[in-house]
């Protein structure tokens, strides 16, 4: 059995549901683990969700300064991370 990579998990999750809550969970994952961004981009292109993946990465890179309406305010994301005991 092969290992499920965070990039794959994030993309599969967003293919199933790309609503705000799901994007927040992907943010937690992407912010917490060391994700191979090239792999993440390749997976996102494969599933035609590259924008859905690039937006959260930009959001994390800018500490929430650049966000879409589907992504939480930075303060709210930090609270969610704290609730799940995730360092993001």
- Whole-number pLDDT of residue 3: 85
- Whole-number pLDDT of residue 80: 95
Whether this model's pTM surpasses 0.85: yes
Alpha-carbon distance of 40 to 58, in angstroms, equals 13
- Whole-number pLDDT of residue 2: 75
Tokens 């998990």 sit on residue = 9
Q: Are 44 and 36 in contact (CB under 8 A)?
A: no
pLDDT tens-place string over residues 33-43:
999 999 999 99
Alpha-carbon distance of 2 to 37, in angstroms, equals 19
């Amino acid at each position: 059995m092969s290992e499920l990579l965070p990039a794959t998990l994030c993309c599969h999750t967003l293919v199933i549901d790309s609503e705000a809550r799901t994007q927040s969970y992907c943010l937690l994952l992407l912010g917490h683990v060391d994700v191979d961004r090239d792999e993440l981009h390749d997976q996102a292109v494969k599933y035609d969700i590259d924008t859905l993946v690039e937006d959260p990465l930009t959001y994390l890179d800018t500490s929430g300064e650049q966000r879409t309406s589907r992504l939480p305010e930075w303060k709210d994301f930090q609270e969610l991370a704290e609730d799940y005991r995730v360092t993001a």
